[in-house]
Amino acid sequence: MSDPLDRLVGSLARTGLTRFFRRMLDDAPDLFLKDLTVEAVGPDRTIRVGGRWVRNFGSDSFLGLDQHPAVVEAVARGVRDWGTHNGTSRAFSSVAPQREAEARVAAWLGTEDAVIYPSVTLANAGALPALATRHDVIASDQHAHNSIEEGARLAKARGARTAKFAHNDPADLDRVLRTLRPFRHAVVAVDGVYSMSGALPPLAALQAVARSHDGFLYVDDAHGTGVLGTRGRGTVRDALGGYDNTLVVGSLSKAVSCLGGFVAGSRAAVDVLKLRSNPLLFGGPVPPPYLVAVCAALDVIESPEYPRLRAALDANVRRLVAGAEALGLTVLGGRVPIVSVLVGGEDATLRAGRFLFDAGYYVQSVVFPAVPHGAGVLRAQVNANHPPAAIDGLLAALSDLAREVPLPAPAADAVAVPA
């Protein structure tokens, strides 16, 4: 007789998504380019996988700061000065680079204060339950990132009521908040930019509805941080003119190329999070070397080098979008440096990803459940340090692919792809 743990694991493996992924892997092991091992990283966004060097179009380090000498040196300096980890929860103490990185994030954005969690996932899982109690409600966009949903679930388990409103629809938000009445305050949680579609939320209209219901905006701008808005500050300040009645969440792991997720806003709100948010009280912080590196990355972002990096990135995105459209492909996104090409079925999408990989280009094959059934996409993350010739090479490979696998033309795109 096997142990209960073995029996549980066995039954989990036979159900739901685990079964779905297992079957995909078993049916087509050579097509399933997931869980790859990257054996080495080279210059100009190359990686070695299975002994072959390919161009990597799968990195969120949009500005290429992960290989910037000043950022790399800052991690090494951080290790020399602070060791690998300070080994305590922030309830007891924080190293000076933590305070410095938080002050730098706040000064960059123009908020009163900021607090850094080890990831955006933990920020959402920590902040939403800390903000919404049994007297309050959370209304989130139906396409908001999974980590907002997880944070809302935790808040719900602790007594808050939660609901979703139709994507980017202030009138539906109003309807949902009316049906949730009575409550004390409402957290209106949205993404700052929906990374798959490139859609921006109508923040000013959502804010007006939120205010009319004693609510405030909670904007997860993970994909906007560093690459959208004036000086890379993301979408919120440009849309709202400031941060009144708003908390903004951002990523330090994507364009900033370090580690962590922040929540920024008024000092009073940040102070309350520090006292109520469980991952800050019961979990460990970002290791000091990465906090030192956040400051170095922000030095670059606030220097004259930034407009050059951003111009290179934007030019690369334009080159890929224009080239893919000229090939007659259905291109989704392109506002953030994530450009998706619609393929369709799961099998065709995995085959298409393998085809590009064999041609020397790694892009992510995104299939259900990240997108609806039958709406698989090839998702290319464009970086500032992709040489333009690499974009042209990817386009040539896409052109070859379109001859092998029928790819839907734009008119055929009747499928809504969520972020």
Residue placing its CB nearer to ligand PLP in the complex, 250 or 323: 250
Amino acid found at 135: H
Residue placing its CB nearer to ligand PLP in the complex, 251 or 364: 251
* Residue range at the interface with ligand PLP (CB under 6 A); choices 117-125, 240-248, 335-343, 368-376: 117-125
The nearest distance, CB 221 to ligand PLP, in angstroms, is 8
Determine the 3-state secondary structure of 417 from DSSP.
coil
Residue 285 to residue 260: CA distance in whole angstroms: 9
The nearest distance, CB 147 to ligand PLP, in angstroms, is 4
Binding mask 152-191 for ligand PLP (x = CB under 6 A): ---------------------------------------x
Of 327, 303, 305, 323, the residue nearest 315 (C-alpha)? 323
Contacts 24+ apart (CB under 8 A), 164-169: 164/139, 164/140, 165/139, 165/140, 165/141, 166/142, 167/141, 167/142, 167/143, 167/194, 167/199, 167/418, 168/141, 168/199, 168/201, 168/202
Among 145, 213, 335, 386, binds ligand PLP (CB under 6 A): 145
Residue placing its CB nearer to ligand PLP in the complex, 261 or 265: 261
DSSP secondary structure, 48-105, as one string: EETTEEEEE-----TT-GGG-HHHHHHHHHHHHHH-S---S-TTT---HHHHHHHHHH
Q: What is the dihedral of CA 369, 372, 378, 384, to 10 degrees?
A: -80
Among 98, 253, 330, 349, binds ligand PLP (CB under 6 A): 253
Regarding 251 and contact with ligand PLP (CB under 6 A), the answer is yes
The nearest distance, CB 38 to ligand PLP, in angstroms, is 17
Kindly list the distances between the CA atom of residue 58 and the CA atoms of 250, 325, 333, 355, 365, in Å, as whole numbers in the listed order.
Answer: 20, 20, 15, 15, 10
The nearest distance, CB 251 to ligand PLP, in angstroms, is 5
Residue 353 to residue 33: CA distance in whole angstroms: 7
Residue placing its CB nearer to ligand PLP in the complex, 259 or 398: 259
The phi and psi torsions of 325 (rounded to 5 degrees) equal: -65, -40
Among 120, 196, 219, 397, binds ligand PLP (CB under 6 A): 120
Residue placing its CB nearer to ligand PLP in the complex, 125 or 401: 125
The nearest distance, CB 371 to ligand PLP, in angstroms, is 14
Residue 212 to residue 197: CA distance in whole angstroms: 29
The verdict on whether omega for the bond into residue 287 sits within 30 degrees of 0, i.e. cis, is no
Residue placing its CB nearer to ligand PLP in the complex, 123 or 401: 123
Residue 138 to residue 187: CA distance in whole angstroms: 5
Residue placing its CB nearer to ligand PLP in the complex, 121 or 277: 121
Regarding 102 and contact with ligand PLP (CB under 6 A), the answer is no
Residue placing its CB nearer to ligand PLP in the complex, 213 or 335: 335
Among 59, 121, 140, 330, binds ligand PLP (CB under 6 A): 121
Regarding 31 and contact with ligand PLP (CB under 6 A), the answer is no
Q: Are 349 and 378 in contact (CB under 8 A)?
A: yes
Among 56, 59, 94, 119, binds ligand PLP (CB under 6 A): 119
Tokens of 260: 């962590």
The enclosing H or E element of 251 equals: strand 246-251
Residue placing its CB nearer to ligand PLP in the complex, 195 or 277: 195
| Residue ranges in 313-352 that form contacts with ligand PLP under rule CB under 6 A | none
Tokens of 38: 């990257």
Regarding 261 and contact with ligand PLP (CB under 6 A), the answer is yes
| Residue ranges in 200-229 that form contacts with ligand PLP under rule CB under 6 A | 220, 222-223
Of 380, 353, 377, the residue nearest 367 (C-alpha)? 377
Regarding 61 and contact with ligand PLP (CB under 6 A), the answer is no
Residue owning tokens 């064999």:
358
Residue placing its CB nearer to ligand PLP in the complex, 229 or 261: 261
* Residue range at the interface with ligand PLP (CB under 6 A); choices 115-123, 196-204, 304-312, 316-324: 115-123
Tokens of 188: 């209106």
* Residues in contact with ligand PLP by the rule CB under 6 A: 119-121, 145, 147, 191, 195, 220, 222-223, 251, 253, 261
